[in-house]
Amino acid sequence: MKYSQLAELYEKLSSTTKSLEKTDILAKFLNKLKKEQDKSIIYLLKGKIFPDYDESEIGISLQLTIKALSKATGYQETKIVEEFKLLGDLGKVAELLTSSKEQSTLSSTKLTAEKVLINLRKLVEFEGKGTVEKKISLIAELLTSASPTEAKYLARTLLGNLRIGIGEGVLRDAIVVACCPKDNKAIPSKGREGSGFSWGCDEEKVKQLKEQVQEAYNTSNDFALVFEKACQGKLKEIVIDTEKPLKVMLYPKADDFQDAFDRLGKPCIFEYKYDGFRMLIHKNNNGIKLFTRRLDNVAKQFPDVVKYVKENIKAESFIIDSEAIGYDPKTKKFLPFQTISQRIKRKYDIEKLVKKLPIEINVFDILYYNGENLIKKPFEKRHEILKKIIKNDKYHLKLAEQIKTSSEKEAEEFYNKALEEGHEGVMAKSIDAPYKPGSRIGYGLKIKPQDQDFDLVIVKAEYGTGKRAGWLTSYTVACLQQDQFLEIGKVSTGLKEKPEEGLSFEEVTKKLKPLITKENGREVEVKPKIVITVTYQNIQKSPTYKSGFALRFPRFTRLRLDRNTEDITTLAEIEKEYQRANN
Ligand code: AMP
């Protein structure tokens, strides 16, 4: 497929902010993609080159892209930087400079989407010293044969910021529209409020397909595979694979115990809510993998956990859901997530860190056991299997504490015990619910003390002055609405100046700097990647921010490197919280 077809699609998609229109445009494109052999072109639609379960990232810095652009266009780097300062978007700079190239013509280029995928994938393979030149050549090769519009989107893809606002939801719906059987055509329309589709002759069938596509995606994290199977009407062939990560099930909040019983039925199971990070433990013939919520395999960083799994879980193959918590090796007191989060990304001195920050795994669910998919089985039955195969080994690996009760009083006592022991609260779980990967469906609910916090993503930041010069010290954060990030406020308190005192400006600055896509005086725009927990005193309506809300007294409390931007707080959740607090 010609890359110009993709560039044209990106242009069309960026001309509208309406999800239904985006779905329509995308579905038409997918109809063309159906005929192509290589369905992995679909990854480029989200600015990616591999399936979502793959941890490799394009990861090209602004500087390197500028160098490649200079090589491809013959313009000096200083000129490119100058234009970048003016336009604030390297994509636009690439477009401008390519259009003024002598050899540029209006006719379309020979650049193919396959070639783009090949070169970008090679970029990921190169690592270490001496690779910069090779990377620049690979990028320049693409830019040289690109039309101005193609160059714009190539540059943006390299920087990881396509700015066309399509995400999981729109892509899923477009697959439904493109692959729906002819006699059950689904047409995206503005007509029917809420549903987003005007169904053809069989509304139910299309709805089912939408669920199947979502389920297949949550199971495989691979849109190329989902698209291919959806076109063939073989989505059922996508099954759990112990080699690949799955999306975990998520839990909304309950107002209180009565609310939990009302929504989950009586009796239900209550478990301690541990304050750590989620870990999906996979075992098969090839060994043990430990996946975070971001689908990264962290087995190398956690050799201690691999050992506990071998010693304490008896089964040939499984996928087990758990929470990893850290504790102080001397006092055995549990540590907040922030302290152990450094273990997730650590590449060196791992054994030292294992001793300094030991981990206890608290197991609470099982999705696959010795060749059998368990996700449709009731929670209580899944838990019985867990009990059979897990040997409790305190401070290493054990079952999460739990009780089964119909009594609010008993549940409350259990909750108080959890808090006394230093845990975050409790999870209430329906005894007969299945497991739904990737869904915040409410088969389990979290109950914590008055937690006024949201998980938000940093979209902009500002350099400090005086003592804080050189650090990014104020962060504009955003919530999620469908596929867009909507700003909700600025956070500048909660971090430390000295790293030894806790999470510091320096550490956050280090994380943000490689993500900068635009600079404007002291303010920078960053790729929306870093998720943080922000506590606040209350929510106000505000015209200042796109979300329509602002947070009063926001405070940066956690850096959530284990979280995806797709999991952050949604605008609907913020609206609900606002209503709750003001009623
Ligand atoms: P929150 O991080 O506040 O959205 O709460 C949900 C998270 O709590 C889950 O994603 C898990 O990482 C964590 N968690 C801790 N203990 C449990 C448990 N017993 N069952 C399920 N999730 C738990």
Amino acid of residue 428:
A
Cis, peptide link before residue 267, omega less than 30° from 0: yes
Domain 453-582 classification at class level: mainly beta
Among 382, 439, 446, 570, which is best to mutate for testing ligand 1, by the most ligand atoms less than 8 A from CB?
446
**What integer pLDDT is reported at residue 189 of this predicted model?**
53
CB of 247 closer than 6 A to ligand 1?
Answer: no
CB of 400 closer than 6 A to ligand 1?
Answer: yes
d(CA 308, CA 279): 14
The SS3 assignment for 70 reads helix
d(CA 360, CA 26): 45
d(CA 450, CA 577): 12
d(CA 565, CA 211): 22
The answer as to CATH 3.30.365.10 being correct for domain 48-159 is no
CA 438 – ligand 1 centroid, Å: 14
CB of 323 closer than 6 A to ligand 1?
Answer: yes
CB of 271 closer than 6 A to ligand 1?
Answer: yes
CA 65 – ligand 1 centroid, Å: 40
d(CA 265, CA 178): 39
d(CA 568, CA 459): 13
Among 249, 272, 273, which is best to mutate for testing ligand 1, by the most ligand atoms less than 8 A from CB?
273
Q: Encode 155-189: b = buried (16+ Cβ within 10 Å), e = exposed.
A: bbbbbbbbebbbbbbbbbbbbbbbbbeeebebbbe
d(CA 233, CA 227): 10
Q: Are 90 and 69 in contact (CB under 8 A)?
A: yes
**What integer pLDDT is reported at residue 197 of this predicted model?**
53
What pTM was computed for the model?
0.78
CB of 360 closer than 6 A to ligand 1?
Answer: no
Residue 86 DSSP label: H
CB of 455 closer than 6 A to ligand 1?
Answer: no
CA 562 – ligand 1 centroid, Å: 12
Among 272, 274, 337, 569, which is best to mutate for testing ligand 1, by the most ligand atoms less than 8 A from CB?
274
List Cβ neighbours of 22 (8 Å cut-off, separation of 6 or more).
13, 16, 165, 166, 170, 174, 483
CB of 253 closer than 6 A to ligand 1?
Answer: no
What backbone phi and psi angles, to 5 degrees, belong to 5? Answer: -65, -35
**Could you check whether 257-447 and 453-582 share the same CATH topology?**
no
Surface-to-core class of residue 274, CB atoms within 10 Å of its CB (0-12 exposed, 13-18 middle, 19+ buried): buried
**What integer pLDDT is reported at residue 201 of this predicted model?**
40
* Active-site residue identified among 46, 71, 135, 273: 273
How far, in Å, are 38, 46, 128, 141, 142 from residue 118 at the CA level?
12, 17, 20, 12, 10
The SS3 assignment for 184 reads helix
Among 278, 448, 558, which is best to mutate for testing ligand 1, by the most ligand atoms less than 8 A from CB?
278
Q: Are 92 and 11 in contact (CB under 8 A)?
A: no
List alpha helices for 408-531, DSSP H: 408-420, 505-512
CA 442 – ligand 1 centroid, Å: 13
CB of 427 closer than 6 A to ligand 1?
Answer: yes
d(CA 55, CA 323): 21
Q: Are 438 and 248 in contact (CB under 8 A)?
A: yes
Q: Please tell me the residue having the least CA distance from ligand 1 atom 17.
A: 273
Q: Domain-by-domain residue ranges, the chain?
A: 48-159, 257-447, 453-582
Residue 104 DSSP label: -
CB of 318 closer than 6 A to ligand 1?
Answer: no
Report the nearest atom of ligand 1 relative to the CA of 248: 10
Q: Please tell me the residue having the least CA distance from ligand 1 atom 11.
A: 278
CA 323 – ligand 1 centroid, Å: 7
Q: Which pairing describes strands 187-188 and 268-273: parallel, antiparallel, or unpaired?
A: unpaired
Residue 273 annotated to the active site:
yes
CB atoms within 10 A of CB 264: 21
CB of 273 closer than 6 A to ligand 1?
Answer: yes
Please state which architecture CATH assigns to domain 257-447: 2-Layer Sandwich (3.30)
Surface-to-core class of residue 306, CB atoms within 10 Å of its CB (0-12 exposed, 13-18 middle, 19+ buried): middle
- Could you list the pLDDT tens digit for every one of the 583 residues in the chain? 999 999 999 999 999 888 889 999 999 999 999 999 889 999 999 889 999 888 777 778 888 999 999 999 999 999 999 999 888 889 999 999 998 765 444 444 689 999 999 999 998 888 777 788 999 999 999 999 999 999 999 999 998 888 787 888 899 999 998 887 665 555 555 444 344 554 444 677 778 888 999 999 989 999 999 999 999 999 999 999 999 999 899 999 898 899 999 999 999 999 999 999 999 999 999 999 999 998 999 999 999 999 999 999 999 999 999 999 999 999 999 987 878 888 988 888 899 999 999 999 999 999 999 999 999 999 999 999 999 999 999 999 999 999 999 999 999 999 999 998 989 899 999 999 999 998 888 999 999 886 689 999 999 999 998 888 899 999 999 999 887 899 999 999 889 888 887 889 999 999 999 898 888 889 999 989 999 999 998 899 999 999 999 998 898 988 998 888 888 999 999 998 898 877 7
For 347-471, list the strands marked E by DSSP: 359-369, 372-373, 397-399, 402-405, 425-430, 444-447, 453-463
**What integer pLDDT is reported at residue 374 of this predicted model?**
96
d(CA 282, CA 84): 45
d(CA 84, CA 566): 29
CB of 325 closer than 6 A to ligand 1?
Answer: no
